[in-house]
Amino acid sequence: MRVELNAVSYRYRDGTADEVEAIEDLDLVIESQSVHAVVGPTGCGKSTLLRLLAGIVKPQAGSIRFQGAQLRANRTAMVFQDPTLIPWWSVGRNIGIGVEFNNKRRGLYDKIRSFSADRVGLKGMLDRMPSSLSAGQQTRAGMSRAFAHDADVMLLDEPFVHLDALTRRKLWAEFETAWQFDPRTYVFVTHDVEEAVLLADRVTVLAGPPAWALETVEVPLDRPRTRDTASDPAFRSATASVWDALERSSLG
């Protein structure tokens, strides 16, 4: 599913009588079945952009259009920065929450839950409680829950930010495998430029606040991406272009 944002603006109140302009006249195109990363300075509006795409908040101006036939049960699903697992529910029930409350038949619910868990390396862990999982396993559970929600557009808000370097590398590989297996449309917010270039087909650099699209860098790398991708001259060139745009974004 293709997503188009045209002249999108969003304001919110900060507890006073004043309104804060979070996003202003943002134009952005996210191609169908691609991975589109979004980077930018802290507080520039990246997470607000995901909330707009998810429909959690509505823009005061402009339009957000989802183009193409809806192939799955839901239009969007979110993977949060923190896994936000319900601590008194099992891992399996946390993963299947969206399916459970959609009143799916029990047999289908169990299959979707197990399949989604297997895809991210949680096979055999459905009966465990979240407190027994490592940080990486909790992140996997959050991703599995989004897969089980069965949406055309996956929204990821820095899902790997709290993980150590080795676990992040493992999850980057799992993310690539998941996309190869089921190439949905992904919008991926991160502060890590190398992570953005490694995982994405395009990287948009936001300036702000308020957020606006400074530049979108094409990443001309073949898939699947591997640990050797970082030595590709095209990877280094795209990374340098994103860094250059980020430096310009900090100049205001």
pLDDT tens figures, 81-96: 877 888 998 888 887 7
pLDDT of amino acid 112 = 56
Contacts 24+ apart (CB under 8 A), 105-111: none
Phi, then psi, of 233 in degrees rounded to 5: -55, -30
Per-residue CA distances from 200 to 62, 89, 134, 149, 193 (Å) = 26, 33, 26, 22, 10
pLDDT of amino acid 201 = 96
Domains annotated for the chain, with CATH where assigned, are: 2-72+153-249 (3.40.50.300), 86-149 (no CATH)
Average pLDDT, the chain: 85
Scan for tokens 């169990």, then name that residue: 110
The residue ranking higher by pLDDT, 158 or 115, is 158
Instruction: Report the alpha-carbon distance of residue 21 to residue 24 in Å, rounded.
Output: 7
Prediction pTM value: 0.85
pLDDT of amino acid 133 = 85
pLDDT tens, residue by residue, 162-176: 778 887 888 788 788
